[in-house]
Homo-oligomer: A and B are copies of this chain.
Amino acid sequence: MSAAERRIETVRVELGARAYDILIGDGLIGAAGREIAARLPGARAAIVTDENVAARHAAALAASLEAAGIAATTITVAPGEKSKSFSMLEEVVDAVLAARLERGDAVIALGGGVVGDLAGFVAGIVRRGMRFVQMPTSLLAQVDSSVGGKTGINSPRGKNLVGVFQQPALVLADTGALDTLPVREFRAGYAEVAKYGLIDRPDFFAWLEANWREVFDGGPARAHAIAESCRAKAAVVARDEYETGDRALLNLGHTFGHALEAATAYDSARLVHGEGVAIGMALAHRFSARLNLASPDDADRVEAHLAAVGLPISTGEIPGELPGPERMLDYIAQDKKVARGALTFILTRGIGRAFIAKDVASSEVLAFLRTAMLPSGAG
């Protein structure tokens, strides 16, 4: 490992009294005890993780905490979205209480988005709020879900409908943990990396077009892409912590994406979140072009880049049958980002020029979907 790879990047999330650091670099799981002890002196900890991540990293984390004098208990949940449930919430809450942890102690989320969302919610409600440390081990979690304080579980009525805003005291993104990620999962996380370029960082998108292979290979380019993504998200979150305005920009590609996830019954064999976002971003750019807001060339460029890294860009690439455009519109209308019945979309005026469009006519969306959902792909 080169010296450059060992460098730790720090991104500050500016939230006043709730401000915190995101550290990004190789080897941070082994350094966790030192970093946490420095920020939360005297705290004990509960590590929340899933079976897969525990097998790879739990022992290293526990050893690091122990070496720093942090007493810790480990709570392991089943991997996958099913753990984002009321029953698992109750179980983990009880385990944290059983460990007799207090408000000043820390819940440490070691894992991907599911673990982070569940553990963060637990930290937010045990004794009305404990300290919380995010240790994301997937690319998606490192660049998206671990930053910004959104936590929660799913309801039978929809994903992420129940939760709290609970900012972590610290985020430790160990880029070395990504070395063992399956490529499909890495790619899915990459969709969110590309998203930040498309929202408001056109130079970053251009850099990704030129350097994505290095990002996939690991090393300094990967750490840079993660840090830049965290900076982009942190800037939006600092402007709008509780999602009353600008933060909706982070949903670029997500309105279509969530509808596709719902339409495929959240079956990860058919579609994972990041793939839905990739298709959604391609559709959002194509839809913007159809509305004469952006050039079709920009939609072409987005599709070309996402396809180059191996991400899907059209509904035709999803295995199995999909509902028709009318039913897809229903899924879109049910998405929680819909305010008081109006259809809100994140549209764009070009690469890095996304904006929040309220009151988009559902007839326009339907007409677009009829064209875009042809088996031949977006048109």
| Residue in A90, A121, A128 whose Cβ sees the most chain B Cβ within 10 Å | A128
What are the residues of chain B within 8 A of A243 when measuring CB–CB? 128
Of B125, B156, B340, which is within 8 A of A94 by CB? B156
- Give chain B residues whose Cβ lies under 8 Å from the Cβ of A340: 42, 102, 104
Contact, CB under 8 Å: A339 / B97: no
Closest to A98 in B: B157
Q: Is the CB of A155 within 8 A of B125?
A: no
Residues 108 to 156 of chain A near chain B (Cβ within 8 Å): 121, 124-129, 150-152, 155-156
Q: Can you name 24 A-B residue pairings with CB atoms under 8 Å?
A: A86-B90, A93-B162, A94-B155, A94-B156, A97-B155, A97-B158, A97-B161, A98-B157, A102-B339, A102-B340, A104-B339, A104-B340, A124-B164, A125-B162, A125-B163, A125-B164, A127-B161, A127-B336, A128-B151, A128-B242, A128-B243, A129-B165, A129-B242, A164-B164
Knowing A102-B339, A155-B93, A339-B102 are in contact, say whether A165-B86 is a contact too (CB < 8 A): no
* Nearest Cβ on chain B to A357's Cβ, whole angstroms: 19
Q: Closest residue to A124 on the B side, CB-wise?
A: B164
B128 and A163: CB pair below 8 A?
A: yes
User: Which chain B residue has the least Cβ–Cβ distance from A125?
Assistant: B162
In the bound assembly, the distance between CA atoms of A121 and B162 in angstroms comes to 11
- How far, in angstroms, from A172 to B161 measured CA to CA in the complex? 28
Which residues of chain B are near A129, meaning CB under 8 Å? 164-165, 242
Q: Which of A315-358 contact B (CB under 8 A)?
A: 336, 339-340
With a cutoff of 8 Å between Cβ atoms, the chain B residues found around residue A98 in the complex are 157
A121: B residues at CB distance < 8 A: 125
Using A127-B336, A163-B125 as known contacts, say yes or no to A157 and B102 having CB atoms under 8 A apart: no
